């Protein structure tokens, strides 16, 4: 068994830093990218691949990174600035949950549930509960499926 590819370890560390800067959990970032939590963990550890994958690009896009930024990090080059819209935030709000619904092979809609940065944990939980009450109807309207109840 060979060692990890240093380029992907560097990319994973950069993506981890970016996700944490934006206050996203592994689960929220994975959901927004349409991949499993374990996939994101492997990407962040640098163990996911020895070549650039669609999952890695989708995860990076959730964090506001273009393919060019990913390729720059892999190559050890300086990146070309921060993304124009901070990932994980909308108008200063913090993402509480996210869902991604494919629209076509190259497009998706992402539903973000956000809370004001000054919201208490109880208020953020209330926002999440309100989303859970409406999730099935919203996902059905978008042509996706909500997670099973349980």
pLDDT tens string for the chain (150 positions)? 446 788 899 999 999 998 998 888 999 998 888 889 999 999 999 986 778 888 888 888 888 777 778 888 888 887 655 443 344 445 556 666 666 667 777 777 777 777 776 777 778 778 878 888 888 788 788 776 555 444
Query: Which residues, other chains included, contact 5 with Cβ-Cβ below 8 Å and sequence gap of 6+?
Result: 46, 50
Domain covering 6-75, topology: 434 Repressor (Amino-terminal Domain) (1.10.260)
Sign of CA dihedral 77, 82, 84, 89: positive
pTM across the whole model? 0.54
Is residue 87 a contact partner of residue 24, using CB atoms and an 8 Å limit? yes
Q: Where are the domains of the chain?
A: 6-75, 89-142
Task: List the 89-90 sheet strands across, edge first.
Answer: 89-90, 93-104, 107-115
Measured CA to CA, the distance from residue 142 to residue 5 in angstroms comes to 39
Identify the CA nearest to 46 among candidates 82, 83, 14, 79: 14
């Amino acid at each position: 068994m060979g060692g990890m590819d240093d380029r992907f370890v560097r990319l994973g560390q950069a993506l981890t830093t970016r996700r944490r800067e934006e206050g996203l959990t592994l689960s929220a970032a994975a959901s927004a990218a349409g991949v499993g939590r374990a996939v994101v963990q492997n990407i962040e550890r640098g163990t996911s691949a020895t070549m650039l994958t669609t999952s890695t690009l989708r995860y990076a896009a959730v964090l506001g990174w273009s393919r060019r930024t990913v390729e720059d990090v892999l190559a050890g080059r300086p990146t070309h600035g921060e993304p124009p819209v901070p990932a994980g935030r909308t108008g200063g709000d913090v993402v509480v949950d996210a869902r991604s619904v494919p629209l076509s092979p190259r497009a998706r809609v992402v539903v973000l549930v956000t809370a004001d940065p000054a919201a208490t944990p109880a208020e953020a939980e209330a926002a999440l509960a309100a989303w859970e009450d409406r999730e099935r109807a919203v996902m059905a309207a978008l042509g996706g499926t909500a997670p099973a109840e349980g």
